[in-house]
Amino acid sequence: MTSVSVSATTVGRIGNEGFRLGRWISSVIDGGKKVAALWGNGDYGRLGLGNLESQWKPRILNSSAFYDQSLREIACGGAHTLFLTENGRVYATGLNDFGQLGISDDRSYATEPLIVNGIPKEVVKISAGYHHSSAITVDGELYMWGKNSDGQLGLGKKAAKLVTLPSKVECLNGVSIKIASLGSEHSVAVTDKGEALSWGGGASGKLGHGHGSSILGFRKSNSEFTPRLIKDLEGVKVKSVAAGILHSACIDENGFVYIFGERAKAKMGFEEGKSVTVPSLMSKMPPSEEVACGGHHTSIITSGGELYTWGSNDNGCLGIGSTDVVHSPERVKGPFVRHPVCKVSCGWKHTAAICGGNMYTWGWGGSHGTFSEDGHSSGGQLGQGDDIDYIEPKAIDFCNKVRAWQVSCGFNHTGAILEVDKEPL
């Protein structure tokens, strides 16, 4: 898509005028507030900066975009972004071809954050898939919207294939949802009792329900149109879950890691076989706390703050210093040897992690011009100021008065929540 400026905003001018990030923050944001920073491909307005331009370094969103509310969470999808404010309101920007913004009008995209109406209660968690979105309310109700071609919204077989406004997943009445993660055509969630649910397209076994062929050899429908309990995890209390493009993963209360979905050679930590259709326990992994799934790679943070990655290593997205495929979990070292990792997120072919309040990125920077126009790459999802691939973690140069709080990788853009120092800058 041709990069055309829609409007010139204060945010869009940062960097071009040579201002330090820290000086700009001090002039527009109160200390102690959590703000959003975004970078990478800017088409369809997914960065929320008021234009369609890509950004090779992080750009801060002015808090006035959220009526001066501090932010709690950011979620980057395929080409859209969700924001959650401290007062429990959801905003969205970017592509809206399947209604993934959850807004009331029929615009095809938005270049600045718009309020998502229709959720009657305070929201505490958000998630963005490739073309769909979700929100969890303070009392555990799940609302979903966007593309529903494979039942990924969990609204039932009779639901529309495109849902433009937040819709409550009614079949979960009486069930409290604590976590949801959205992939490309599927969704996974965890209840307050630690039960794992999945729904949507089940190709490659990514729902964990063991879909197979009928007795006559014909493939049964592998879609689930409402949330379904993953039976092989019954009796297992799940605390973390993640949905990728063709696979899913979860961690139980004892730190054991389970993975299901595509396990083609050199992708999912299994050297043989095409896919695993029910959750498979990964052996020889230290007790783990957090999991993230990308296009064809997976990241795990252990209880001790160590980071492990495995799978397809396109563009160095595993961060291990090479582009060699890794069949089993390998520890990512570098800066993570000295300090524990607390957050990780995986995009299509890039990864980001937070360690000691600093943000590190690696993998695909757009160097191969996959989305290039007129010889200019539309990458920048690593936030390093270039479109180079990095095969090891590299720190992003934020000013020293902000701390990275949370990170989310989209297909080829990245967003973070930064906490501004309460001290004067």
On whether the CB atoms of residues 28 and 9 are closer than 8 A, the answer is no
On whether the CB atoms of residues 113 and 61 are closer than 8 A, the answer is yes
Nearest to 166 by CA among 195, 133, 207, 193: 133
Q: How many CA atoms lie within 13 A of 133 on its CB side?
A: 38
**Token pair of 115 as six digits:** 């309020």
- Rounded Cα distance between 220 and 207, Å, is 14
Q: What three-state secondary structure class fits 45? A: helix
On whether the CB atoms of residues 383 and 347 are closer than 8 A, the answer is no
- Cross-strand partners of 376: 373
Q: What three-state secondary structure class fits 43? A: helix
On whether the CB atoms of residues 357 and 346 are closer than 8 A, the answer is no
- Rounded Cα distance between 338 and 64, Å, is 38
- Rounded Cα distance between 120 and 123, Å, is 9
Q: At 22, give phi and psi (nearest 5°).
A: -65, -40
Per-residue model confidence as pLDDT tens for the chain (425 residues): 322 222 323 333 333 333 344 444 444 455 679 999 999 999 999 999 999 999 999 999 999 999 999 999 999 999 999 999 999 999 999 999 999 999 988 899 999 999 999 999 999 999 999 999 999 999 999 999 999 999 999 999 999 999 999 999 999 999 999 999 999 999 999 999 999 999 999 998 999 998 654 444 445 668 999 999 999 999 999 999 999 999 999 999 999 999 999 863 334 444 444 578 999 999 889 999 999 999 999 999 999 999 999 999 999 999 999 999 998 999 999 999 999 999 999 999 999 999 999 999 999 998 654 445 555 567 899 999 998 999 999 999 887 789 999 999 999 999 999 998 765 43
pLDDT of residue 16: 37
- Rounded Cα distance between 156 and 199, Å, is 10
Q: Which contacts (CB < 8 Å, 24+ apart) does range 338-343 have? A: 339/305, 340/304, 340/305, 340/306, 341/301, 341/305, 341/306, 341/307, 342/301, 342/305, 343/290, 343/301, 343/404, 343/406, 343/407
Would you give the DSSP letter of residue 218? P
- Rounded Cα distance between 83 and 90, Å, is 6
Would you kindly state where each structural domain of the chain is located, as residue ranges? 33-208+220-420
Instruction: For the chain, count helices (H), then strands (E).
Output: 2, 28
pLDDT of residue 105: 83
Q: Tell me the C-alpha to C-alpha distance, in Å, between residue 381 and each of 108, 130, 304, 343.
A: 23, 16, 28, 17
**Token pair of 305 as six digits:** 């703050």
Q: Tell me the C-alpha to C-alpha distance, in Å, between residue 147 and each of 96, 101, 152.
A: 10, 11, 8
pTM for the model: 0.90
Q: Tell me the C-alpha to C-alpha distance, in Å, between residue 14 and each of 51, 252, 314.
A: 13, 44, 32
Strands 341-346 and 390-395: unpaired
Class of domain 33-208+220-420: mainly beta
- Rounded Cα distance between 377 and 235, Å, is 49
pLDDT of residue 381: 97
On whether the CB atoms of residues 329 and 374 are closer than 8 A, the answer is no
pLDDT of residue 399: 75
- Rounded Cα distance between 12 and 7, Å, is 9
Mention every residue, 6+ apart, whose C-beta is less than 8 A from residue 354.
341, 342, 343, 344, 360, 404, 405, 406, 407
**Token pair of 92 as six digits:** 């969205």
On whether the CB atoms of residues 294 and 317 are closer than 8 A, the answer is yes
- Rounded Cα distance between 310 and 275, Å, is 16
pLDDT of residue 266: 37
pLDDT of residue 286: 94
